[in-house]
Amino acid sequence: MADQLFSGQRFRILTLVDNFTRESLAIRVGKRLTGDHVVEILESVTKQRSKPSTIRVDNGPEFISKSLDWWAYFNDVELDFSRPGKPTDNAYIESFNGRFRQECLNQHWFLSMTDAQQRIDQWRKDYNEQRPHSALDNRTPKEFAKLFFQASLKE
């Protein structure tokens, strides 16, 4: 995704969502986001939770990079690329990004990159911890993930 600061400077946004728990795992802003940035974010997230078996991505330059390809290969993670021009291949992230744009990006004038990251982090926390989802039996993504991971540890 992309947006701009109050000054007109454009920036990019990477959103990472768990399709099962509906958790927003990370949202990062930067002037540019490369494959190295994607790998850095994935490494950060996978320190707190297990590595996924598959990551669904679009065909953006940050996702077709050698850095991400190597990371996926060495971590035994399949990269599932959506077909060009077919956003319905990744409908959940498209829906999430639409909600994120409407509820956060369109509601704020960001004064700096730091301001943008702080406001986005606040929105992400509210999304994960305060907003129940009907698809999760009216639980928040954080509650659902906690219940699911506790149940899987008991097995």
Q: At what angle do helices 141-154 and 113-129 cross, to 10 degrees?
A: 60
pLDDT tens-digit map of 50-103:
899 999 998 888 999 999 999 999 999 999 998 888 877 888 899 999 999 999
pLDDT tens-digit map of 27-42:
999 999 999 999 999 9
In a domain, 17, yes or no: yes
In a domain, 60, yes or no: no
In a domain, 137, yes or no: yes
In a domain, 28, yes or no: yes
Residue 155 pLDDT class (50, 70, 90 cuts) = low
Q: What is the pLDDT of residue 53?
A: 94
Between CA 37 and CA 41 the distance in angstroms is 6
In a domain, 122, yes or no: yes
In a domain, 67, yes or no: no
Q: Is 8 left (phi over 0), alpha (psi -120 to 50) or beta?
A: left
Of residues 40 and 155, the one with the higher pLDDT is: 40
The number of folded domains in the chain is 1
pTM (2 d.p.):
0.90
Q: Which domain range does residue 20 map to? A: 2-49+108-154
In a domain, 98, yes or no: no
In a domain, 113, yes or no: yes
Those residues with Cβ within 8 angstroms of residue 62's Cβ, 6 or more apart along the chain or in another chain: 14, 33, 34, 35, 37, 38, 68
Q: Rounded to a whole number, what is the distance in angstroms from the first to the last CA of the chain?
A: 39
